[in-house]
Structure 1
Amino acid sequence: MSDERYQSHILKGVSRTFALTIPQLSSNLYKVVSNAYLLCRIADTIEDEPNLTPNQKRQFSQTFIKVVAGEERPETLSQALHPLLSDSTLVAEKDLIFNMPRVIRLYNSFTPRQRASLYRCVHIMAKGMAEFQQNSSLEGLKTLSEMDSYCYHVAGVVGEMLTDLFCDYSPEIAQHQVELQTLAVSFGQALQMTNILKDIWEDYQRGVCWLPRDVFAEMGFDLKKLSPGQYDPAFGDGLGALIGIAHSHLQNALRYTLLIPPSEKGIRRFCLWALGMAILTLRRINRRRDFCKAQEIKISRRSVKATILVSNLTTGSNTSLRLLFYLLTRDFVVL
């Protein structure tokens, strides 16, 4: 199997969502964006592995940054890391770590500008995740500002990287680069906030919480009292406040998407599918704020198919997309 075929194969194993959205991109973007996602997934796998100590995670993350920079051999890191992965890590993620050299060989085949964008993203993400993971606890983050910073390091920087790649691909898109880069961080935060809210209880089981204490304190809830199955209306109010904040970021995500020329249907679909699935997930959370596990608010395959169909039908119409966004998010609490 060639490195490129392996990349397409493993993408389906490590992400259901991105295995759907990334193939919508043109062939010129598909290869590099797939590689970018896998690089980010390697960094994420290191940080999520429960068998690794905080110090080991930091060391492996630093080594991975050097691997992408060409300063360390991927084979050495792969051989050291793979045996330490526990059953908590997906089989596909273990396979990705084992085949890290394949991913790096493809990365090295890209243009200098593409490699620079990917390296910047990996560097910021891996370094930031290591710092946040080392200080994580069940008490949550101190402030909304800290949550913003966390979202930037794990998602906002990905939006910046994708924007660099889109602008490098299309001179027409590049005309809006400054505004796109500003909105890209917000787009990333919308998606990451959705994941944080969806995964509250799964994160709780792992001993971490990414919710901001100050937002919940304003609603009269102390995150130290967070416990699955013991719903407090004040906690629900805190969720509502965060959904309202996510709504403003979703609006920016729509603005970002509408700046992409309608002729670039692949990129628009890539953005719209992610945006649509985030909106549907937040709608379910908003209606079931007392949920106890992600499975209870997970959107169905039927909903995913409907999102894809509607997005495809409205891809080229800014007016239709604005109306659809309003109809789907009008029940959200807006602060």
Structure 2
Amino acid sequence: MWFSCESGITTILRSRLATIATLMLNADLAPALAFQERSLQAVSRTFALTIPRLPQGLREPVGNGYLLCRIADTIEDDPELSWSEKARWQEAFVAVVQGRAEPDAFARDFAAVLSPQMPAGERELIRNTPLVIQVTRSFNATQQEALARCVAIMGSGMAKFQEQASRAGLADLAALDSYCYVVAGVVGEMLTTLFIDYEPRLVVREADMQRLAVRFGQGLQMTNILKDFWTDWERGVNWLPRDLLARHGVDVAALAPGQDNPAFQHALLELVAIAGRHLDAALRYTLMIPREQTGMRDFCLWAIAMAVLTLRRIAAQPAFQRAEQVKISRDSVRRVVWMSQLLHRSDELLRLAFRVGVRPLPQINGGVPA
């Protein structure tokens, strides 16, 4: 009896000590978590909307993972750095995330060379890299490994593609797949690891989810590439595949916004169709998440629906000249949110809604959009 009583008291004390330790950790993290929330609002309209839908305990690592990726993107997007300088800074940042270098030095040194042309929110994010890493260090080993792996693959991959970036485009569809993987597919893999860590029932579906996660990321990234084509073109970059453009008879050197170019428009429509097929895989991924995990489903569904609506706008006006012409409206986003929350528990209704949503998109018959 005495042993049992002592054991019970010990258990209670350990539990209370663990609670106190957690409260102290959360108190120490409060400024860093507050910055994370502010920064998400400043650097991403889409993820600032979707991440709060995730359950507590998953929201924090996903938000942190996005900011880590945003720092890597900031390095890639700087218009004044050479590709070799970008590669060096990507390596430096990977070392920070992996714990091999101090975030304070990275923040200080990279902020000093970051172009003033970069958005204010991204410059603030770089200056506060130590706060981002403080949150990263609070996660369990599985979560930290997932974040570090993603940043390492993304950083080295983006540096490689920056070296060959030009208006000539990527070599072929396989190269486009590789580019989409390093900037988005690997993010899907990271998110899947975080989802499974949070929801153990997904373990039995891990292999299928990881495979579909890559296509999920590819569908979203292809949508962004198509929407932002002329913006990238103005800065001397083209991420479309040369083999597909050539098959449609597109003279890449003669491309210019606003011209009547049926060949280029047909090439865009074929890529829209390919992106739509990837988004079908994204829906299958989402339906593997248990129905009662509505926040996790909404996180995925909102991204899918906004991508489908963007592809529809591109398909409706393939001669668009600016990204703003095919960007979806705030009213459309509100309708996406409403529909998702209405349907997110029903696999059958979600499949039906997706079929209706993609109906206006071109389909491929023998390599040509129908």
Q: Structure 2 length normalisation: TM-score? A: 0.89
2:194 corresponds, among 159, 165, 171, to 165
110, 113, 131: which is aligned to 1:102? 131
Structure 1 residue 92 and structure 2 residue 121: aligned?
yes
Q: CA deviation at 1:11?
A: 0.6
Q: Deviations over 1:113-155 (max 9, x none)?
A: 1000000000000000010011100111110110000000000
State yes or no: 1:13 paired with 2:17.
Answer: no
- Offset at 1:86? 2.1
Cα deviation, 1:77-128, whole Å, max 9, x if unaligned, reads 1111112222321100000000000001110111011000000000000000
Q: Which residue of 2 aligns with 1:306?
A: 335
Q: Considering only CA atoms, is the larger Rg found in Structure 1 or Structure 2?
A: 2
Partner residue of 1:243? 272
Tell me, in whole angstroms, the C-alpha distance in 2 between the residues paired with 1:71 and 1:257: 35
Contact residue 163 and residue 180 of structure 1 kept, 8 A? yes
1:175 positional shift:
1.9
> Does residue 108 of structure 2 align to residue 79 of structure 1?
yes
Candidates 14, 31, 52, aligned match of 2:81 = 52
Counterpart among 176, 179, 183 of residue 154 in structure 1? 183
What residue in structure 1 maps to residue 18 of structure 2?
Answer: none
Match of 2:10 in 1: none
How far off its partner does 1:334 sit? 2.0
In 2, Cα distance between equivalents of 1:173 and 1:202: 39
Deviation of residue 222 (structure 1)? 2.3
Q: Distance in 2 between matches of 1:142 and 1:252?
A: 25
Tell me which amino acid in the other structure corresponds to 2:303: A
Which amino acid is 2:93 matched to? Answer: F
Instruction: Structure 2: give runs of 5+ residues left out of the alignment.
Output: 1-29, 365-370
Asked if 1:229 is matched to 2:242, the reply is no
| Partner Cα separation in structure 2 for residue 231 and residue 197 of structure 1 | 17
Query: Partner of 2:33 in structure 1?
Result: 4
Cα distance in 1 between the residues matched to 2:360 and 2:305 = 15
**Distance in 1 separating the partners of 2:104 and 2:111:** 10
The partner residue of 2:312 within 283, 287, 290 is: 283
Q: Distance in 1 between matches of 2:56 and 2:119?
A: 28
Tell me the CA shift for residue 68 of structure 1. 0.6
Instruction: Report the residue type matching 2:35 in the other structure.
Output: Y
Return the letter of the residue paired with 1:313: L
**How far apart are the structure 2 equivalents of 1:216 and 1:225?**
12
Structure 1, residues 246-282: CA drift from partner, whole Å, max 9, x if none? 1110110010011111010010000000000000000
Asked whether the 8 Å contact 1:35–1:106 carries over to 2, the reply is yes
In 1: Cα distance, 2:277 partner to 2:196 partner: 24
Kindly provide the amino acid, as one letter, of the partner of residue 295 in structure 1: E
RMSD over equivalenced CA pairs, Å: 0.9
Query: Runs of 4 or more off by more than 3 Å in structure 1?
Result: none
**Which residue does the alignment assign to 1:319?**
348
- The equivalences for 1:125-140 within 5 A come to 125-140=154-169
State the Cα deviation string for residues 304-331 of structure 1 (Å, max 9, x = none). 0011101110000111111111111112
Aligned amino acid, residue 360 of structure 2: D
Could you give the per-residue CA deviations for residues 181-217 of structure 1, whole angstroms, max 9, x where no partner exists? Answer: 0100000000000000000011011110101111111
Shift of 1:332: 1.5
Contact 1:213–1:222 (CA under 8 A) maintained in structure 2: no
Q: CA deviation at 1:230?
A: 1.4
Question: CA deviation digits over 1:284-323, x for unaligned, max 9?
Answer: 0000100000011110000000111011100001111111
Alpha-carbon distance in 2 for matches of 1:160, 1:326: 26
Which region of structure 1 is more displaced relative to structure 2, 80-89 or 311-320? 80-89
Matches of 1:298 and 1:248, distance apart in 2: 20
Structure 1 position 176, deviation (Å): 0.9
- Tell me which residue corresponds to 1:114: 143
Q: Is the 8 A contact 1:283 1:329 kept in 2?
A: yes
Aligned to 1:141: 170
The structural deviation recorded for 1:231 is 2.9
Offset of residue 224 of structure 1: 2.2
Question: Relative to structure 2, which stretch is displaced further, 146-155 or 323-332?
Answer: 323-332
Which residue matches 1:123? 152
User: Structure 1 unaligned runs (5+)?
Assistant: none
